[in-house]
Structures are given as C-alpha cells and as structure tokens.
Structure 1
C-alpha cells in the first residue's frame, strides 16, 4: 500500500494576555511585550510564524463581520503555525515553549487517509458504456444489511436536496463520469498530485453523492451538493474552519483523516496501529468545535484505523507540549467537540464472495469506545481505484474494495444528508451535530459480537433510513397536531373571554340600575301642558323614554327566574287613551317602578341562593 502522508505541523498557542499580532516585520504585541526573542528563534531556524487560521484577530473581525464564527471564537486567534524544514520542527518547538509569551508548542504528526488497502487498477480497458454496478452496492439496501437509502429516496428531500457537504482530505478525480451532477469542485487548499490520494477522495465522493444516471454507482444522497477542501497547504485545522465558513447550519463536513497518537510515541507506521481521530490535538479540536457550536454544522469524523480503545487512560495523559487546560476530548463531557465519530463494521458475510466476520461486528483495525455509528469498513463498491473497472482512463475507474473507517464515514455522511434533506422538506429544524449524534446512537441496526471483538467494544449501530424517515414523519405529524391543538385551545379560551365580557357588561347595567332604579322615570315630564311642553308632545317624549326603560329592564330579566319575570311582551303604551294622558303616565310610571323593584328583588334572591348551591 502506498504511503500517503501530509506534512508534520508545528502549532504555537500564544498566551491570551500577550495580545500578539502578525505583521510584515514579524510578531508584535499590543500589550507591549517584547516579541524579539520569538522572531529571532524563528529566523534562526529558517521559519516563519503566522496565524494558523489565516488572519489575525483584528483582520478577521474586519474581513468577516457577518461571520459569528470568528467573533464568537476569539481563542482561534491564539493559534499560530510555524513553517520551517520538517526535520527542525521538534527542536524549534522546544525553544518556543521556553518563551514567556507562549502557552504551548507542539508538533502534529502528518495526517493520513484512514483507508485500509489500495487495490491496483485492472489493465483491461472498460466496455464502451459502463455497466450499472448498483446491484453491488448492498449498503444501499434494506436494514440490517444496508442503510435502506432507497426508502429515503421515496420521500421528498430524502435524496439530500438542499444539503451541502464538504469533504476534507487530500485529492479527488472530479472529472469522473459518475461525479458530474451535484459536485461543487475543490473550494480550498491544493490537492496532492498522487493518484492514490485521488483514488481515496474519488471513492469517498462516490459513496456520498455518485450520480444517479443508470451507469456505474449511485451515491446515498445523490441530490446533495458535494465539494472538497484539501488540507495540503492549509493544515488540518485551517481546512476545517475554511469548510465551516462556507456552510450553513445543518450542512455537513466530513473529515477523512487520522494520525499517529501516543501509543507508539506519535511515530508514523505503515500498519496504522495507534492512529486516532484528529480531534485529540488542541487546534483540530477547537476547529471542529468552532464548526459544530458556532457555525452549527454537522461534523462527521473517521474514528481511525488504529485498533485503539479511545477510552484507554493513555489518552487522558496531557502531553507536556499541550496547553495546560487541555482535556482528553474522547471523554467528552466538558471537552466535547460535538463531532460524530465513525467506526468500521463488517459487511454481511458473502458480500463480493468475502467473509469479514459477523455482520455489523467491529473490524479488528477500527478504533472503538466513544464511537457513535458504524458503516461498512470493507467491500464498498464506489468510484475510483479501478479494480472493478479499470483501464487507462481514471474517469472510468470503479472499485469493489474501498475500506477502512474511510469507507465507513461517507456512509454516515450520506445517511445524515438524507435525513437533513427530508427534515427541510417537511419544515422541521435541521439537526445540529450533537443532535445527529444522539439520533444515530438511539436508532439503527445494533452492533454484533465477533470472536475476540465483543459489542462492548463500541462502534455503534448501522443507520436505518427507513426508521429515520418514519421518525421524521412522526415528529412532523406531532408538530402539526400540536399546532392544531394550540389553535383550538386559543379559540376555546377566547370564546369564554367574549362571553365573560358580555356578562360583565350586563352586570354593569344591573349595578347602574340598582344605584337609582327610578332615574329613567324621573326624567319623564308628568305635568303635561306646562313648562313649555304642549299637548301631544309629552306622550311622544314619554313613549320614547318608556321604550328605553323597557329595553333596560329586558336586559336584566336573564338574571330572574322565569316564573318571576314581568310580562314585557306588551308595550306599556299600547291601548292607552289620549284623554286620560296624565293618569295613564302616572299609572305606567308606577307599573314600571314595580317591575324594576321586582326585577331587583328577584336578582337579589338569586344572589342569595348561590352560596347554598355551591
């Protein structure tokens, strides 16, 4: 297998009170500290020290005021990268650690892709038209053998529409015939020129978003937009931050890298034993946390091919070169990057005529412990390499043998893109990275035991998109029901309020009448023919006032028992004779006065009865 490695990186963490800033003449301090020793050390080793994330803090704030990522994460401005000859980096780090303005200085081993094998390309040329290899992609099929991608494709948004994904690694063959429809190209870094780097990236892209075009393979989320950033020239942490700043909440970053850990004193090895997920290093951890917490992007990270229990106390020990406040992120808790860690599980026995152990059991090379989900770690059919279909044209290459946590991780990415696309289609909020992690942990096809590799060596479950789609439908249905119930409750509450207001208004009328039950009667002129009112005018005036009084009494009768209510069905003025006008008015006044008094007495009686009714 070819050696695929980046360059070691020397990372310097400045003290926050140093207020360092990079200038054309070297480092300076806004706090007035002497930076001459730092600049002299770098110059002596032929190195340059520059902000790890591309700009100093002030420039970041001015250049991207609309990016809360930078303003909310000032700790990123404390990181610097030293470019110097690789062989001189360890000694340079030792000298820098002795400086009072430096909180930490450490050398990161080269990052590598967590693949297992590089199968050689077949020599024979392919047919004129590439066959359809989808039948070989059993990982697309129903659970538990696959993730049941086809079930997701039946739903609106379930093919990943509207979701953007960035793959962070080394290189890609983006002119491949099966990567033309929803591919956003390389958007950062400088891809490595090596064909094995390209094969790896091309295989990853195929698993995620290979075109659904009737030839070759089809990706798990073929409608998602997939782009790439190479860490070459940037470093891993800067590549992650660059990816995060190009994405929106709910989009996805895939980290297809691992590196040598403390098991073998950070030494690179061809067998990858002891290799671990890159979040263990402080700058990579902060970059991932920046993506998950500040940018609200889902980060999926290969757990690595080092055969390690990431809960081993070995990983709790802080290297002397790290900052004093460093905590092992594999323990999560207070130091939780938020990323989804992916392990490698065995495919169903018999896949491509191979048997790698019980289906969904941990493959021996896969790291385990704080691992959230598993994908196929062997026998993945996708683009690249050329062992399934080869020849001289890389654009037509396909493989049956993509493997490692390299092949497992894009399966999880594709699954989550289907979930996010469906959630958007039904107007549910997209998952955060931690939300995605929790979902994967509580669903799926459970991990199985294998001889010497029990399921207690956790790599998590294999996703089941049928169950995940059903979960979304249930959530959407509940959301709709809750909305309807809320509207119904609102109407139920508003109607009693309206009735209560009506009763209050009527009660006010009663109370006003109780204060002076004769006030309307007193307004009636009874000395007709005197005081400026001529004959005939008083009757009209009295009639209007009595009619108004009758209306008032009528509004009060709903408080009176029916047997006690006065008879208001006949007008008080009907059948009255004109000649006896004065007597009639007096009689009507007396009658209405009695009616009012009876109404008041009846209401008082009802009020007295209420306590006994309770």
Structure 2
C-alpha cells in the first residue's frame, strides 16, 4: 500500500512504508469481533508532503509533531526525553539510542530558538491514554498508535516561508514520523441552497415536530416511528458525546448532559444546541422531539486542546456501543473548484489529519461508534492529492462518515464532500431543531428557548445519522447487545435508501430505520452462511466473501518511491509511486506489471497507463539478470 498518507491533525471549529508497532500495551487477543478492519501494520505518513500543504494564511495555526512508534518520547518538564533510550525496539525506524538523543536535543534547541512552547497534544494522563490503547488492542486485535507520541506547538507568528523552513527542519530528524501544520477547523454547517419560505411562530413554544421531515416514513425520511415500535427504539441505554465548540446545556427542550467539558470561555452555542436537539430533543409535547429522545447526551469542546484530544476525552467517558459525534471539519489540500459555500472550499473530514485518525481508530477499536461529518468542501475524497487517506483499502479509522443531501430528494448538496469513503447521507438543509439563532421561534428565555428550521451542512446530516445510530443501538441493546462499529456501519449502508441523482458524487444511502430495526431486533451471526445486512466482506468474509481490491498480488507492503525511479537486476520487488510520470521503460525483465497490467520490456507513455489504484501505481518487478533494467521517468 502507498505510504502517501499525509494524516495531519487539526484544532477544529465546528464541522508509506509499513511500520510494526512495538511495545503493545497488553497481549492482542481477538476475544471479540474487530470493530473496524484496520491493518496490523500502521501506514507511515509521507512527511515529504507536509510543507507543501501548509496554507497560505498561517496566522492561526499550530505545529504538530509525531515521533515514531517505539521511541517512547515524552515531555518531562520542558525537555523531550525517552525512558526507552538504551532499549529501543526495532520498530523505532532503525534508530539507535545516540541518534534519538541527538534528535531530541536538536528539536528542543530548534523550538527554543523560535520561542515555541511544546506540550503534549493529548493532555489525558499517560496511564489513561495507555488504558485506552491496551483495551482497544485487546478488543479489536488492532495495533493502535501511541497517542502520547504527539506534541503540539502553537505557531507564534511569522511568515509562511519561516513555517515551511521549521516543518522541513523537524521532518529531517529520523525520529520524527511526521511534523505538520494544523489549520484551524470550523463548524461543518452551511447555508441552505434555496429559501423554504419559513415563517417564525408567535406563541409559547409550539410543537414543531410536524416540521421534522427527516424522521418521517416517506421517501425522504428515516422511518423513526416504525423503529420506535421495538424495545429500545428511542435510544434507551445509549450515550452520545458531541465534539465541537459551545452549547446551551440548559435549553428547555434538552436533557441535562451526563458529561460536560465546556470551552475555556463562553461562546455562541447556536450550532451545538441545534445538534443536540436533532439527536435528543425531549418528547414532551412542545418544541422538537429528537431521533433518539431517551439517549443520554454529553459535550466535549475541542477549543480546550484540539479535536483529537477531545475525541480521546469523549471515548474515555463511554462504553462499547456508545457514540462520539465529530461536528467539525478543516481545510485540506486544494483540489476543488467551488460553485457554492466558497468560504469552506477544500475543507475535509477530520480523519485526514494524523492525530484525529489515530484518536478515532482508538475509539472504534474500543467498540465506540464514531460518526464523522464528511465536510462541506465540495471535494471528491477519492482525489489522488489525498494519497489514499480516505481509501479504506489503505487505512480505515472505523468511523461512519456522513455526507449531506437535499431535504426534498436524496441528491447531494452542492457543497457536500463525496467519494467512496462516505458511508451514508442525511438532510443537509432545513433541519428543524433547537438552537440556531431563533429563526423559527424565540420565546422569553433567551437562548434557552430558541428554535430553528434552517440547520444545515454535513453538521445537520451527521446529527441526524447519530440519532439513527442511537436508535439502532438502543434496539440492539435490548435484543442481543451493542453492535460493533463495523456491524453498525454495514447495517446502515445495507438497509439504507439509495442515493438519487449525481451518482458520480457518492454520498452513500440514507438510513432507513424502518428496515434496519427489525434486523437488529433479530440478528443472525457470522458463520451462519447468510451475508446479512449486519455483515460485509470486511466484518464477515466467511459469509460475504473477500473484499475486492485493486492492489496486485504481492504488493500489499509496497514501498513508496519517488520519480524518477531506476532499478537494475537482479530484482524481485513491488513499489508504489503516486506522481504523474512521463513514461515507463524496461528491458531484460521477467515481469513488469503496472497495477496488474503486463508492460514488460517496452517503452510505455503515461497516456497508456492503466487506471490508478489507491491514487497511484503499483509496479511489480522481477528481473533475473544483472542487466535487467527498469526506469520510470
């Protein structure tokens, strides 16, 4: 698989080579089904790309540093150190103790020279991070990242060129897996695409449930009423923690939160309150009724330490089967021409960034469902510029990723991100809920009794889907126990209402709880010979068959190379390159296959290359003689 995954981390506003993991916290035992199909090897990000993705505006960014697995680097006082110096494992990128110590001294001096203060990115105590890692590994048989190897240095100002120089200097150290710039995220909300002619009501908090079309039983609703006929169909015994900025936790139509980690200072809670109302608005005869009104809700602001740390904090509060909702997105590489919502053009889902991906995977490995906004950047997440970061054959965080559709049809909104990684979609406009600016209703309690009918974006869509997840889990809890993240994802995809229109912009199906709930209430089991809606090739190959892949045989651990590439025999290898080349040439070779197509011993222009795989090309080479030769120019 390619190593061209630049997984960066981001502090957000609302919506390689294979490296073995050493020092696993506890024995990895597949005692329960894996909650997400991740690999036993981590994909090392291609740090050569990090400086090219630094945004033009660097006035509000941070520098994130991730050390290689196995190095054991920690911050002691103001100094970087490692308790494992003198006992480095082979996983630590071939480092010897002297090299690691030189790197730590050099990085400390480099940051000091620029007056940058370093701190751990994940502020949870080391013992608690270790517990999340070890429990996830035991549960899932997935080797997880050591989140304690991430560090954060807020950029204190300066030119982009100075920041590029710093990132390149940090990445020159062999002990650094990747150093990158973390842009500021934003809420994943967007304006509706056209006016619905809504009129504010004047009364003492009317009943707005008739406006909640997303829960209806028609073609554009989720069939919530049908699901409520099953025990657990109101989300009983399920808890959700929303990760974003601010909320109005004492809104009249919301339950008291079971967990609350607010932002360090007060702020606008319109968005967070709208999210909460969609999910858990109370069934009380006024206002709105959430999709899962009997689920518990909690809040974790990313403004404290960043999105990745907020995800880890939320995961620590929850049990298997509970839900973390990520309501933010952030700017990624420039790949799109945006015809709407231009202010969020090129914004992508948070798992693009390394720290967020690792935090999500840790949560899903612990059996926690992570629902993630796909983002409002108008981008195709299959674009090769992302280097396979959103390709599940390359890596899979286990999250349920959500796109946005129109309220009147299952057509993508103009701004919704799309691609094979987007699992499901829901309404991205005209969602009636609590909060907002009170466009629908604003009574006598200020922000505590405001309602909106224009909540939008992949933010609204992700809130709707989180409610659906809570309902499915509530039914599962009553029937046979909580669903794993993979089973839950399979269920909503396999039973959902298909996307309509613009099928080249994949946003997945729309959850159909009327179809899903009966299956959850009476599930089959892996190995029974039936590939049910709760299963897929990823979760139950014995019933559903193997997953298809474009990766040629013997290329699963292909090394990432740059162009030009030249090799002479004897050769027996497979490499991967993602740069557009001009031609491939070879002679005296036994095998030259490009993405599985035989191109041996001939000159081939790039215009005749086969289709890309994982955003690039796998080159399988066998040459038996010293005069065997291949070159890619």
In structure 2, the gaps of 5 or more residues are: 1-11, 16-59, 86-96, 531-633
Cα separation, 1, equivalents of 2:253 and 2:438: 14
Shift of 1:170: 0.8
Matches within 5 A, 1:255-274: 255-263=326-334, 271-274=343-346
In the alignment, which residue of structure 1 is the partner of 2:545? Answer: none
Q: Secondary structure at the match of 2:441?
A: coil
Q: Secondary structure at the match of 1:258?
A: strand
In the alignment, which residue of structure 1 is the partner of 2:441? Answer: 389
Q: Does 1:346 align with 2:406?
A: yes
Matches within 5 A, 1:210-249: 210-249=281-320
Shift of 1:150: 1.6
In the alignment, which residue of structure 2 is the partner of 1:29? Answer: 82
Q: Does the C-alpha gap of structure 1 residues 431 and 329 become closer, same or farther in structure 2, counting only changes over 3 Å?
A: farther
Say which of 121, 125, 135 aligns to 1:68. 135
Shift of 1:189: 5.2
Q: Once the two structures are superposed, what CA deviation does each residue of 1:135-159 show, in whole Å capped at 9, x if it has no partner?
A: 1111111042211112222221110
Q: Secondary structure at the match of 2:348?
A: strand
Q: Does 1:158 align with 2:233?
A: yes
Say which of 150, 173, 176 aligns to 1:79. 150
Name the TM-score, length of structure 2 as normaliser. Answer: 0.65
Matches within 5 A, 1:411-430: 411-426=464-479, 428-430=480-482
In the alignment, which residue of structure 2 is the partner of 1:39? Answer: 108
Q: Is the 1:125–1:391 contact (alpha carbons within 8 Å) kept by the matching residues of 2? A: no
Shift of 1:76: 1.9
Matches within 5 A, 1:173-184: 173-179=248-254, 181=255, 183-184=257-258
Shift of 1:27: 1.1
Shift of 1:117: 2.9
Q: Once the two structures are superposed, what CA deviation does each residue of 1:237-294 show, in whole Å capped at 9, x if it has no partner?
A: 1111111111111111110011111116999x9521111111111111111111111x
Q: Is the 1:379–1:402 contact (alpha carbons within 8 Å) kept by the matching residues of 2? A: yes
In the alignment, which residue of structure 2 is the partner of 1:371? Answer: 422
Q: Does 1:288 align with 2:360?
A: yes
Q: Does the C-alpha gap of structure 1 residues 420 and 373 become closer, same or farther in structure 2, counting only changes over 3 Å?
A: same
Q: Does 1:405 align with 2:458?
A: yes
Cα separation, 1, equivalents of 2:128 and 2:515: 47
In the alignment, which residue of structure 2 is the partner of 1:202? Answer: 273
Cα separation, 2, equivalents of 1:66 and 1:280: 20
Say which of 181, 185, 204 aligns to 1:129. 204
Cα separation, 2, equivalents of 1:65 and 1:313: 33
Q: Does the C-alpha gap of structure 1 residues 87 and 200 become closer, same or farther in structure 2, counting only changes over 3 Å?
A: farther
Say which of 175, 183, 189 aligns to 1:109. 183
Cα separation, 2, equivalents of 1:55 and 1:4: 21
Q: Secondary structure at the match of 1:381?
A: strand
Q: Which has the higher contact order (CA 8 A, sep 6+)?
A: 2
Shift of 1:341: 0.8
Cα separation, 1, equivalents of 2:317 and 2:380: 34
Q: Does the C-alpha gap of structure 1 residues 210 and 60 become closer, same or farther in structure 2, counting only changes over 3 Å?
A: closer
In the alignment, which residue of structure 1 is the partner of 2:215? Answer: 140
Say which of 369, 374, 384 aligns to 1:313. 384
Cα separation, 1, equivalents of 2:69 and 2:523: 45
Q: Is the 1:182–1:222 contact (alpha carbons within 8 Å) kept by the matching residues of 2? A: no
| Bigger proportion of residues as helix | 1
Q: Secondary structure at the match of 1:53?
A: coil
Q: Does the C-alpha gap of structure 1 residues 360 and 265 become closer, same or farther in structure 2, counting only changes over 3 Å?
A: closer
Q: Once the two structures are superposed, what CA deviation does each residue of 1:450-485 show, in whole Å capped at 9, x if it has no partner?
A: xxxx22321111111111122224427999xx9xxx
Q: Is the 2:374–2:422 contact (alpha carbons within 8 Å) kept by the matching residues of 1? A: yes
| Bigger proportion of residues as strand | 2
Q: Is the 2:14–2:189 contact (alpha carbons within 8 Å) kept by the matching residues of 1? A: no
Q: Is the 1:5–1:110 contact (alpha carbons within 8 Å) kept by the matching residues of 2? A: no
Q: Once the two structures are superposed, what CA deviation does each residue of 1:53-72 show, in whole Å capped at 9, x if it has no partner?
A: 225757854xx599624996
Shift of 1:5: 7.4
Greater CA radius of gyration, 1 or 2? 1
Q: Is the 1:110–1:259 contact (alpha carbons within 8 Å) kept by the matching residues of 2? A: yes
Cα separation, 2, equivalents of 1:442 and 1:333: 19
Q: Does the C-alpha gap of structure 1 residues 178 and 91 become closer, same or farther in structure 2, counting only changes over 3 Å?
A: farther
Say which of 244, 253, 264 aligns to 1:169. 244
Cα separation, 1, equivalents of 2:164 and 2:65: 12
Q: Is the 2:432–2:455 contact (alpha carbons within 8 Å) kept by the matching residues of 1? A: yes
Matches within 5 A, 1:482-497: none
Q: Does the C-alpha gap of structure 1 residues 194 and 182 become closer, same or farther in structure 2, counting only changes over 3 Å?
A: closer
In the alignment, which residue of structure 1 is the partner of 2:347? Answer: 275
Q: Secondary structure at the match of 2:334?
A: helix
Q: Secondary structure at the match of 2:187?
A: coil
Q: Does 1:448 align with 2:500?
A: yes
Q: Once the two structures are superposed, what CA deviation does each residue of 1:110-150 show, in whole Å capped at 9, x if it has no partner?
A: 11111003999xxx997562100111111111042211112
Q: Does 1:52 align with 2:118?
A: no
Name the TM-score, length of structure 1 as normaliser. Answer: 0.67
Shift of 1:182: 5.2
Q: Is the 2:492–2:512 contact (alpha carbons within 8 Å) kept by the matching residues of 1? A: no
In the alignment, which residue of structure 2 is the partner of 1:551? Answer: none
In structure 1, the gaps of 5 or more residues are: 317-327, 349-358, 483-614
Cα separation, 2, equivalents of 1:17 and 1:146: 49
